[in-house]
Structure 1
Amino acid sequence: MKTNYIQSLFAAFLCAAACAGFTACESDTIETSGGKKPDQEALQNVYGKLRSGATAGNTVSVLLAEGEGSGISTFYFQQTKPAADAVTLAARGDASLADAYNEAEEVERTVLPAQNYEFPDGASLDLAKDAQRSVYKRIRFLASGLTPGEYVLPLTVAEEGMPDDAKTLYYNITVRLPQVGDIELHKGDDLFFVFYINTDQYQPLLVDEYFMQKKKARGATEPLWYNLIGNIINLRTVRLDHQAESGRAILSLGDDMTYVLGQAVKYIRPLQDKGRKVCISIEGAGSGLGFCNLTDVQIADFTAQVKTVVDTYQLDGINLWDRNSGYGKEGMPAMNTTSYPKLIKSLREALGAERLLTLTVYDRPTETFHDVDACGGIAVGDYIDYAWSGYNSNEEAPQLLDPWHPTETYVSAYNQKPIANLPAERFGCINFPIYPRAKSEEEAMMYEPEFLMDWVDMGYKPNNIIVFADLRTNLQDEYEGYWDGMLNVHCEYMDETSQIYMGSRSGYTYLFDLNRGLGDYPEKGGYGKWLKNWK
């Protein structure tokens, strides 16, 4: 009964196509064995199986946080042959199956109380005549009233008193205490931090090493605060890809992100426990299909895939960054100005107001977002929570993208008009690159963001959003020895109360601390602690 979770995860995505659209999957894997003629009677019979949308096996792992935590999973019924007649099955929890399951698993799990699960779409599974599978139904798990520990819910469509593992799913529910740690997350009153982290290289837990203190510039011995930083964490890399055979827009997680999401209890929940919002950042895959040339059918399909991933892994939302799509390839539709706004609207409606939907402004895909008519009547700002600049190349100076003051001398050469209906307080004007150690005085001068002084002093800064490109350590190009100090300076310039650069004795300064234990790994060069630990 035990399954390998990581191996089964990919199989589960294949079988979830009808609901989530990751890829086509019309039949299950068939196991064969040689040396024996098949049983003809068995081949003529019709067998059915209760399946999960989260795993190919019949055990499903669910993680809940103590208190008001909740989680959703999907299930459906599938037969080996089309149904001769319409069939309706009723899914139900069966506590009588728990003892045998626990004994086989050599664990002791408490049966999940009936008040801690519900069926938002109803518990009936309808199999139409000539169909092989039912539509997906959701089961919602609720942590309210549960103490931390291990629970089990056998969900079955088998007849009463007739145990049948093929027609039963076993949900293993873990209720866990939040891992808040000793140091609080900075709430973002004077600076609100948005971080990206590339899971192709690092574990998301690297974020938990980012500490900062703010203190008086002169005469202070104690900091005003010493906190974790990183309010929104965007995990990369997830892509919108093109499936040539079907023409579908596919949400491609890739091996690294698939692994991280499958191990969310280890890599994501500790970040969320501290109050961070953890999202996936979606970009192009170089296929020629991107956010700006989707059909309405592709938008609906892609939206369903995104919603399934966000719901399944209890993410806080998504970030859209249309780069690397490879527009203009032969056989692909031309870019248009309505596709991207339609996608944004569709995603907002699917994800609901409780999830974050953020936008990274970058190049042609977002250049008409100020024009409601060009966007097909959609005011993009009505459907997103935040937007910010995506210009953060570490081969050029920091770029200040200010749509409201585009003619000032210190503003970036890149252009972006204000997004329709998006308040200025929700637009991040600068996305700081993380630079390597400067090789010359000229290069060091290029990195300095001194232009921020005038921008802040003149009252143009609309908010406290400060975005940083992919977090990293000094494993690449001796980064850390240089960009530690640069991060401090960026924060000082962005905080209008931090007038240390004006010589004020009442100003504030920041001290960045890539914290705790990173030097305990000399065999990896000192800072290999949070390199990805999977292949």
Structure 2
Amino acid sequence: MNKIQKTYLLLIIAMIIGTIPTSCSNDQEIISEMSKNLKIRTRSTNAKTPKVVATVETNKVNPLNVGEYYLCDSTLEKEPFFDIVVLYASDINYINGKVGLYHNPYQNNVLNAADSIIRPLQKKGIKVLLGLRGGYSSVGFSNMNNSQINDFSQLVLKAINTYGLDGVDFDDEFTHYESITSQPKASAALLGNLIKRMRQLLPDKLISVYRYGGYTFSLNQETMDIIDYMRPNGGCMQTPPQGLPLDKWADLSINLKSYYPSNNTIKRCAMYHEAGTVSIICLPYEDVSETLNCFAPTFYGGRIVYRTNVFHPLEWWK
């Protein structure tokens, strides 16, 4: 079978199994022979590169939908497409001189339903990170003193342990650093101190950084060395920040809220991609396998992405 024939076969398989449940089987004679042997491939820790990180806004999308995307090949084996999901987001807040950790109602519902929302993803081999962002107050990740850094880190550690999460992601947006004078002057050094403290408390967990706002653009080498992944807001073939190894950088970062970059650009980028991660920002409820297949076959030996027909509702508790 030549490459064109194989690709055509994979596309036919995707169209068929993308319309049936996760088991990829039903009683229709036309697909029974193809689907009855479809099985999930066991994922080893470092088996798939580049890794794919999905950010899910938990006030808009049920995270279980991340687990409905699979890679499929002509042997009818499948494995989960996404490697990491960031639950976006919980906020740092500042009330009466104290820093706190706030989960909005949707995020709180996801965390409190860890056995039915988080654990099924982890059983598929998907790492689940707590997404943290600035909370629209005057104190954030980049202007805390040492005592506040320790207090906030302990709150994050408690959340990680309570809900059985696999790590944390930092997004230094939305904090009004300029509106307060009683705190240390905001800086990348102070953000780095927070990340270093989190690494001390979470030696075996993942730490990632969303490089978009605040003071994420000038982290020092010591901080770069201890984070696992860094993702820009969107784009293709961006040079990694100074001091960050290429395998920690998502030089293909697809923002599905702004639809940037375009599918044609993604296809071109896939031809030259070398980094260790791909970032999918704001994964929606709708099926986006068409966009994912602009790069997946190139990266993963001709395998294609399909999404099952299971769509998990946002407000599942109602």
Whether 2:114 is the aligned partner of 1:264: answer: yes
Q: Residue 186 of structure 1: CA displacement?
A: 5.5
Show the counterpart of 1:183.
Answer: 40
**Equivalent in 238, 253, 261 of residue 431 of structure 1:** 253
| Change in CA separation of 1:451 and 1:316 when aligned onto 2, cut-off 3 Å | closer
Whether 2:74 is the aligned partner of 1:239: answer: no
1:76-129 deviation digits (Å, cap 9, x = unpaired): xxxxxxxxxxxxxxxxxxxxxxxxxxxxxxxxxxxxxxxxxxxxxxxxxxxxxx
| Change in CA separation of 1:399 and 1:456 when aligned onto 2, cut-off 3 Å | closer
Show the counterpart of 1:485.
Answer: 290
**Retained in 1: the 8 A contact 2:86–2:129?**
yes
SS in 1 for 2:70: strand
**Larger RCO: Structure 1 or Structure 2 (Cα < 8 Å, ≥ 6 residues apart)?**
2
Q: Residue 200 of structure 1: CA displacement?
A: 1.0
**Equivalent in 185, 189, 206 of residue 338 of structure 1:** 189
1:374-430 deviation digits (Å, cap 9, x = unpaired): xxxxx11232122222x13xxxxx344213xxxxxxxxxxxxx32x3x432122222
SS in 2 for 1:345: helix
Q: Residue 207 of structure 1: CA displacement?
A: 1.5
Q: Residue 456 of structure 1: CA displacement?
A: 4.3
1:439-483 deviation digits (Å, cap 9, x = unpaired): xxxx9xx613437647844xxx44341110122123xxxxx4xx4
- C-alpha distance in 1 between matches for 2:213 and 2:61: 27
**Retained in 2: the 8 A contact 1:300–1:346?**
yes
Show the counterpart of 2:99.
Answer: 249
- C-alpha distance in 1 between matches for 2:274 and 2:157: 31
Q: Residue 229 of structure 1: CA displacement?
A: 1.4
SS in 2 for 1:291: coil
| Change in CA separation of 1:452 and 1:211 when aligned onto 2, cut-off 3 Å | closer
- Considering fraction of residues, name the structure with more helix: 2
Show the counterpart of 1:473.
Answer: 285
Q: How many equivalent residue pairs?
A: 278
- 1:321 partner letter: D
Q: Identity over the aligned pairs, expressed in percent?
A: 23
- C-alpha distance in 1 between matches for 2:290 and 2:75: 18
**Retained in 2: the 8 A contact 1:278–1:317?**
yes
Map residues 241-390 of structure 1 onto 2, 5 A cutoff: 241-243=93-95, 245=96, 247-331=97-181, 333=183, 334-352=185-203, 354-369=204-219, 371-372=220-221, 379-389=222-232
- 1:384 partner letter: I
SS in 1 for 2:155: helix
**Equivalent in 230, 238, 255 of residue 82 of structure 2:** 230
| Rg comparison, structure with higher value | 1
- 1:468 partner letter: I
Structure 2: which 5+ residue stretches go unaligned? 1-37
- C-alpha distance in 2 between matches for 1:435 and 1:260: 21
1:21-52 deviation digits (Å, cap 9, x = unpaired): xxxxxxxxxxxxxxxxxxxxxxxxxxxxxxxx
- C-alpha distance in 1 between matches for 2:98 and 2:258: 40
**Alignment root-mean-square deviation, CA:** 2.8
Show the counterpart of 2:306.
Answer: 513
TM-score (norm 2): 0.77
- C-alpha distance in 1 between matches for 2:172 and 2:121: 26
- C-alpha distance in 2 between matches for 1:455 and 1:473: 24
**Retained in 2: the 8 A contact 1:198–1:470?**
yes
**Retained in 1: the 8 A contact 2:209–2:227?**
yes
1:206-235 deviation digits (Å, cap 9, x = unpaired): 112112324xxxxxxx25853221111111
Map residues 449-464 of structure 1 onto 2, 5 A cutoff: 449-450=264-265, 453=268, 456-457=271-272, 461-464=273-276
**Retained in 1: the 8 A contact 2:92–2:140?**
yes
